[in-house]
Amino acid sequence: MLNPGDKAPWFELPDQDGNIVKLSDFIGKKIVLYFYPKDDTSGCTKEACSFRDELSIFEGINAAIVGVSGDSVKSHKKFVDKYNLNFTLLSDESKGMLENYGVWKEKSMYGRKYMGVERTTFIVDEAGIIKTVFSKVKVDGHTEEVKKALS
């Protein structure tokens, strides 16, 4: 698992429009890098819409919101269009970034074990250093937690 003070692992992935987005695109900006399990599911939709609704506040403090899941570019595009999401979603179908950030984990539901994304948010500073890590995120109140950590 990554910790505050660690350098954010490099990434280079397609966004919801198929454009390649790299970590270096954000140098000079803070990044709220949030990892979530699945497009268009209840918790993930609530989390994304909360970030959407507060985007102007994040932009006002020079912070970009970037969501990441293992869903496809096409799935992200549908999710963005359905909920008018106004920030970047990265598609990590290979799970490389999910593994590098330590969020691809064994999970269990109804006694069945499977691999999936543990909902986690990283705040990365302007120089690419991790400042804050929120593990096992509870969606309710999370956007407020992130705003406090940035102020």
The verdict on whether 49 is a catalytic residue reads: no
Q: Kindly tell me if the per-residue pLDDT of 31 is higher than 90.
A: yes
Give the single-character DSSP code of 15: B
pLDDT in tens, 61-95: 999 999 999 999 999 999 999 999 999 999 999 99
Catalytic-labelled residue, pool 13, 44, 73, 98:
44
Compute the mean pLDDT over every residue in the chain, rounded to the nearest whole number: 95
The pLDDT value given to residue 69: 97
3-state secondary structure of 151: coil
**The pLDDT of residue 38 is above 90:** yes
Domain topology for 12-150: Glutaredoxin (3.40.30)
| Position 37 pLDDT exceeds 90 | yes
Closest to 57 (Cα-Cα) out of 142, 150, 132: 150
